[in-house]
Structure 1
Amino acid sequence: MLAVLLLPEFSELEAALLLEAARRLGLSAYTVAKGRKGTPALAGSVWTPTYAFPAAPPPRALLIPGARRPARMAQDPTYLDFLAAHWEGLEAVFLGYNAHLFLAEAGRLPSPVAAGAEVGEALRAQGYALLARPFARTGKVYGTAGGLALLSAFADWVGKKVAL
């Protein structure tokens, strides 16, 4: 089961990409956010999450799409509690274009990590080692450059090519 964590002003492209990939592979997927009210996305849409944190079933994998100011959300104890409650049971965590900053602020970003150029520079300044690849797995965390690199990372995890 794939959970897509909707941070405020998340990338709907990244969220939709893996939701569709999961659907095509017959995997269960859902969206989750702090509350059940609509969550605004970067391109102006508003998504109503399937679950609020307390009611979300335990996922096997978690996608954190890129978002505006993702590190700020990791300062909210509610987000940290959700992450802590599910972290040990997760097989994979997929990071969108700048979601690395959320996981770094939460103290759960491994090093080395793959990231896009702009995010990579911010991570390098924080002492993280970077891998020059579109995606790479370190432990359970798939760092990616975002966008279509998420699809490649997801295909790596499921062990199947994902045709969209």
Structure 2
Amino acid sequence: MFPERLRNLAMLILDDAEQARLKIATAESCTGGLLAALFTEIPGSSNVFERGFVTYSNRAKEEMLGVPGDALADYGAVSEPVARMMAEGALGNSRANIAVGITGVAGPGGGTKMKPVGTVHIACARENRAIIHEHLQLGEISRDAIRMAAVETALNLIQAQMR
């Protein structure tokens, strides 16, 4: 289902996390659970993958992750602050040590002048460390390509937080 390079990267992350006794959680919007699906496609992932939140709507972000409605109104769902709050919310509402938040505009519609299709914000939180963030401007490539690029970037951020 996933490209081999993403499967291999996910397997490496799961192995490293298991050795370090770390648990991972995901909070996904535009990827709709693809990162969680990638992790759970790998046998034995339950030793590391703690849970995934698919928070596609703003209300879900508020109810499941504790993202304040004011932040969603002020910054918009597709923003660095919201991605950071999603990662923090996943960390705080799970038993994970590392959590990633992904929010973006996967298209083909839904983009604006300020946040065009292909805009994605990804944040990764780890207990007792600074949150790291990546902002992607992928342009109007396919919806699938945007979502897979977001998954790959999230994997890279998780790997960076494990170092």
Please tell me the TM-score bracket, short chain as reference: 0.3 to 0.5
User: Larger helix proportion, structure 1 or 2?
Assistant: 2
TM-score where L is the length of structure 2: 0.32
